[in-house]
Homo-oligomer: A and B are copies of this chain.
Amino acid sequence: MKPDKISEAVVRRLPVYLRYLNELSSTDILTVSSQELGRKLDLNPAQIRKDLAYFGDFGRKGVGYNVIYLIEKIRQILQLDEPRHVALVGTGNLGRALCNYNMKENVKIVAVFDSDPSKIGTTMNRLIVQPMDELEQTVREKEISIGIITVPASEAQKVADRFVTAGIRGILNFAPTVLRTPDGVRIHHTDFTADLLSLAYYMDSDDET
């Protein structure tokens, strides 16, 4: 079913397409070309066509892509047509920010955990903070497939290990540290410290293109 071997870069762009298509769908625009998409998203039109063509022939020559249809297709590809349940560990500021974040697409944080006894039992965006002991059982009961880590770097690997034993196969890590997991477990690392520090490199040079 799933095509050959799609590069990470391609998969990573699909949500970006989806987001803009969702915007379009609330207008009266029915059709969009790769050129328009490219202009709006700052991407090469050929790249967009190629990305989409990996998954099927979604466009019509001379016309472009039907907005509604393409949304549906990208949702299918990303496996977002049925709800995806997420667990979050670490109820600090960042954890709270993410809990309150409206993901729109069918992705929902359905359980939050913390190891700090003083946090357990408090509520966060209508969810009760649970102790780490309950992780495995909750993952099973609520059919959770993705875990988010928003604990300090020193705790992140331990949490990742717990996620893995609980059967989670996808982890979004916000802790500023590299995590190691067995094959078959996928880690995406949102490293905004690195994003920010690397930005500093480009400052004050005045010789940019």
Contact = CB atoms under 8 A, between A and B. Distances in A.
Nearest to A100: B93
A18 B15 CA distance: 31
Interface residues of A, number: 65
B200 A172 contact: no
B96 A204 contact: no
Contact of A196 (B8, B169, B188): B188
A194 B15 contact: yes
A195 B149 CA distance: 13
A209 to B, nearest CB: 7
B180 A208 contact: no
A176 interface: yes
Contact of A15 (B92, B100, B197): B197
Contacts of A174: 192
Given A42-B178, A97-B92, A186-B208, A105 B197 contact: yes
Contacts of A180: 42
Contacts of A117: none
A73 to B, nearest CB: 13
Contacts of A107: 196-197, 200
Most buried by B among A18, A198, A204: A198
Interface of A: 2, 8, 11-12, 14-16, 18-20, 40-42, 77-80, 84, 86, 92-94, 96-98, 100-101, 103, 105, 107, 145-146, 148, 169-172, 174, 176-178, 180, 183-184, 186, 188, 190-205, 207-209
8 contacts: A14-B198, A15-B191, A15-B198, A78-B200, A94-B94, A96-B97, A146-B203, A172-B199
